[in-house]
Amino acid sequence: MTADSNRAVVLTEPAPGVRVVTLSQPGVRNAMTESMTRDWNRALDVVAADRETRVLVVTGEGSSFCSGADLSWLDQGSADDVTIDRLRERMLPFYRSWLRPRSLPFPVIAAVNGPAVGAGVCLALACDIRFAGPGARFSTPFVFRGTHGGMGATWLLPEAIGVTRARDMLYTGREVPAGLALDWGLVTEVADDVLAHSLQVAERIAQAAPIAVRLTKTGLEQSAAGLNASIEWEALAQPVTMTTADLHEGIAAFRENRAPKFTGR
């Protein structure tokens, strides 16, 4: 898999089973423009169709992770285009495109290399694991732009950091620096070289049994429905893994004191 530097989103394969999607419009701080959204969808289509993908890392080029949605088109369209119905028709597919990490069957890691603003925070929150660089900052200043939060902000933030802190971020628009984001649980860890650290974690995940990892991601989504839903899911998912060749490989590797070599079968 080779990178295409002419695209607003660049897809690379730094290690077996590991894919990296880089938002590559540093001149606009990796804002979610129409071209970037189109290239993002194209890149994720490729990754999702690649059976060798075991983990995805999302990061930004330059000094920013993502400065949020580019709404400059609001000033370019006719008055007929700026109606509630038409805006909603445009917003929903935009939201769903950038929240696709939630629905991918494998884990997604956000390597937040710099500021994440508005919808950029939601993109990070849509990933399964988040790591921050020292210069990372998180802010959701929607109400100070005169708009309501979008792209799942009112659900994703409380899920990650609790309702009280979500209210703080959404009402005040404050910037949350990397250290405080770690204290709040917005990120798992702060690393000097956040991409290198994220790739190290991604490579470890890529060495795990892929069927078990994918089912675990689904199980974590099921957990929102409560304990009973979780145990019902686990009572199905665990027997599924027990019928795989990877289970036998995992047991054999443990007994032989060696690293397992999982094939996803």
Written as one string, the DSSP assignment of 61-113 is STT-SB--B--GGGGTS-GGGSSHHHHHHHHHHHHHHHTGGGTSSS-EEEEE-
**pLDDT at residue number 2:** 45
**pLDDT, tens digit, for every residue of 226-260?**
999 999 999 999 999 999 999 999 999 999 999 99
In a 3-state reduction of DSSP, which class is residue 21? strand
Mean pLDDT confidence for 112-141: 98
pTM for the complete prediction? 0.93
- Nearest CA among 1, 27, 22, 19 for reference residue 10: 22
Whether 187 contacts 136, CB under 8 Å:
yes
For residue 45, CA distances in Å to 38, 40, 65, 109, 160 come to 11, 9, 21, 17, 27
Q: What is the pLDDT of residues 17-43, one digit of tens each?
A: 999 999 999 999 999 999 999 999 999
pLDDT at 157: 98
152-205 pLDDT, tens digit per residue, is 999 999 999 999 999 999 999 999 999 999 999 999 999 999 999 999 999 999
Adjacent-strand bridge partners of 9: 23
78 or 44: whose pLDDT is higher?
Answer: 44
Residues above pLDDT 90, as percent of the chain: 88
Torsion of CA 170, 103, 44, 92, to 10 degrees: -50
For residues 1 and 12, the answer to whether their CB atoms sit within 8 Å is yes
- Tell whether domain 9-206 is in CATH 3.20.20.450: no
